[in-house]
Structure 1
Amino acid sequence: MGKHKAGSRPPKISNSVYEAELFRLQSELVKLQRWTTATGARVVVIFEGRDAAGKGGAIKRITEYLSPRIARIAALPAPTERERTQWYFQRYVEHLPSAGEIVLFDRSWYNRAGVEKVMGFCTPAEYALFMRQAPIFEQMLLEDGILLRKYWFSVSDDEQLRRFRSRLKDPVRQWKLSPMDLESIKRWEDYSRAKDEMMVHTDTPTSPWYVVESDVKKHARLNMISHLLSTIPYTPVDPTPIDLPKRPPQSSGYVRPPRELSTYVPDHVAQLMGDPESG
């Protein structure tokens, strides 16, 4: 996709409808998690796209009510010197799911087709080898029974720049604005060409790319989660019944230590509420 301007947008979903539908979808994700655990399924979801395209926000909503022991996020840092000498896919293999697990890759092996290609962090030979091996690697995952889904979050150049500027002004989100993000502004068309070439080689019938229009973040989240759920044949699994045990009768021998022997955190909330005795 080449450089483009944000066109006329559809009306934004209301907050009330968004919150209601998001919670419904998150409830379905809990059912998916239960099914994954019960059946031993292995699920891999790849999140790719331009910087500030909304990948992290979608991942956050997906995992909000899921167990971190079952639904794991893999966001790998830059490779170490040792990892640079390994087979390229090796460090990603270590993060693949075992039975009953879901792994969400916040960027993935497609770093080589994007930032590494554009910024010159890999050689032309390494890039060409990746393009040949990626479809084969993914076919091996599929043949072994892994459920693989790949999502590309597509954001317009105008909207990306607006989000960068918003981060620049926000002290709690400035950390999201990296030197690579700033460089991507100057290299928009280079990234577009890299993305187009990546799609040509890796958008296959058995492992397709699904493009998520993400100029409106709330729409993107609902559309992506709804689609993910629609592609996995999960079925309802009754939860294991849980009965709260009755509290045993208090023994006559236990005496709680005096409060003064423990160090409590200050009552910051009381200070906010104006309690003069809290200081």
Structure 2
Amino acid sequence: MLEISKNNYLKKTRRALISTAILNAPLFSLYSLTTFILRKDLKASAFHLAIIVMLRPTLSFVSYFWSSYVFNREDKLKINFLWASFLSFFLFFLFPFVNSVWLVILSSAVFMLFYRAKTPAWMEIVKLNIEEKKRDNIFSYTTSIAYFIGPILAFILGPLLEKNTLMYKNLFFIAALFALVNIWIISKLPVNLINKNIQGVKKEKLSILKPIKEGINLLRSRRDFALFQLGYMIAGFGLMLIQPIIAIFAADKL
């Protein structure tokens, strides 16, 4: 009976991973084009583009405070993930009705904030529902689906955006609907809490300094990781500098 239960969790989680890869792909593809849409369709300035590029890494830190809510609380994983998923894209539903550079910037920032925030809960759900031996293969397979769909969508979305400067509004709205359907699918996913002692678990007290202290301790204890982070930071700084320029060049010169 226990084995049947494990297979049930496995099958339903695999379906959820596949649906996530497929239904979230349009929104991710459009999100990657945000700076180009801002420049080409909304005539955003270099300042606007710099703001959105700057917010992306900054909000990764802020997302810690949302994800820390589920620390040692497996019973809160799904509700945490569902709310973060919805909050990540709900502003895109306003696109057909509001024409604003700042709405696009705010929506993109909120999307990245809650995308980062929901990831720990989703990873924990996958770990609880799929045993380790099968987890890596299934996760790799579903991730490959997302990477396969991405280039296909790029060829489809490019001509659509080129023909109509307001097409991005409808595309974001439709992509948000797909993401909403995915939330409904995942809401039906059971989470394997068998033998999990969640009674009497105290919620961890949030601290602004905690992630900073943990990061410093990790860098001190792992010199190889510290060197990797240094190189990653330098490369990331270069990418942040060039991203607004790429959007301006592509929209104005190409």
Relative to the length of structure 2, the TM-score reads 0.30
Name the structure where helix makes up a greater proportion of residues. Answer: 2
Asked which structure has the greater RCO (Cα within 8 Å, sep 6+), the reply is 2
Which is greater in Rg? 1
Name the structure where strand makes up a greater proportion of residues. Answer: 1
